[in-house]
Structure 1
Amino acid sequence: MHLAKFVAVAALGLSVAACNGDRGGETLGTVVGATAGGIIGNQFGSGGGRALATVAGVAVGGLIGNRIGASVDEDARRRAMEAEYQALQYGPPNTPVVWREPDQDVYGEVVPGAPFQRGGQDCRDYTHTIYINGQPEVGRGTACRMPDGTWQTVS
């Protein structure tokens, strides 16, 4: 059962990556990030919400994986995704949630915007800046809270 879930998450991650084209390590980073995000999201969900948590994890992980690329390890991607969740779920507007991978020169911050409603869902814009060897990569998006409490990037 776990293998089937992993294969499904990996396949979804590959399909997300295929849409991006190959730009150096970005495709691999997207696949790895989407897969890791799906696995982490799967751990947060329960019952019928587990599938939604997995899909949300794939979406967020793909964004983060694409930004970080293949140049950093899974711990850095995990820290980045955890900071993104903390910022979206609990962060006051315009207040950064910072993260750092102590074994590498990789760190970042997630700055959530003010909460708003879209189609009956709680949503937030956010900016995630990731520094690799001192060079910033900035990603912006909008995430909405799903009925099971997870956040899914919608744009």
Structure 2
Amino acid sequence: MKKIANLLLITFVSISIAACNGQMNKQGGGTLIGGLAGGLLGSQFGGGEGKLVAVGVGALAGALVGGQIGKTMDEYDRQMLQKSSQQALEFSPAGSSVAWNNPDSGNHGSITPTKTFKESGQYCREYQQEVVIGGEKQKAYGKACRQSDGNWKIIQ
């Protein structure tokens, strides 16, 4: 038991150092930390070979959950998406895209206004948005209208 705890501690410290040096993305870090936590939790169950199986199952389950959590957009991704959306809707002509990219997470995307019109006294724009999160491309279409404070609000 003590050997497992020491191994997990050494691995956790190594991962932390690699993450601080920028050598690991968020998904990789989530996978490793989840695996470590799951392995540690699994080590609390069973005895003999059963304990080894519990550690392996715990590590695998933790790695899967941690990797999925790491694939999601982080706060910086959301800020970049919001900023590029406001810029595209306010300044870009129809058909011209504004892109964003987060080199830390690997997530990126673009927004392209497609049509400008006036509705109920407000300027509105239809747009297409493409976002790549964890290597998976997602597309969205919508409509946003400029509010009295100058910000654009998604209507649909």
- TM value normalised by structure 2: 0.53
Q: Does 1:112 align with 2:102?
A: no
Distance in 2 (alpha carbons) for counterparts of 1:125 and 1:150:
15
Task: For 1:147, give the aligned amino acid.
Answer: S
Distance in 2 (alpha carbons) for counterparts of 1:82 and 1:140:
18
Within 5 A, what are the aligned runs for 1:21-100? 71-100=72-101
- Deviation, 1:70, is 7.2
Q: What 5-or-longer segments of structure 1 have no aligned partner?
A: 1-68
Percent identity over paired residues = 33
Within 5 A, what are the aligned runs for 1:126-137? 126-137=127-138
Give 3-state SS (helix, strand or coil) of 2:128's partner.
Answer: strand
Distance in 2 (alpha carbons) for counterparts of 1:142 and 1:81:
15
Give 3-state SS (helix, strand or coil) of 2:129's partner.
Answer: strand
From the CA coordinates, give the structure whose radius of gyration is larger. 2
Give 3-state SS (helix, strand or coil) of 1:115's partner.
Answer: strand
Question: What's the CA shift string for 1:86-113, capped at 9, x where partnerless?
Answer: 0001011111100000101200000012
Q: What 5-or-longer segments of structure 2 have no aligned partner?
A: 1-69
Distance in 1 (alpha carbons) for counterparts of 2:152 and 2:133:
25
- TM value normalised by structure 1: 0.53
CA contact (8 A) 2:71 2:134 kept: no
- Deviation, 1:133, is 2.9
Count of residue pairs the alignment pairs up: 87
Distance in 2 (alpha carbons) for counterparts of 1:114 and 1:127:
10
Task: For 1:148, give the aligned amino acid.
Answer: D
- Deviation beyond 6 Å, 4+ runs, structure 1: none
Distance in 1 (alpha carbons) for counterparts of 2:151 and 2:92:
15
Q: Does 1:150 align with 2:151?
A: yes
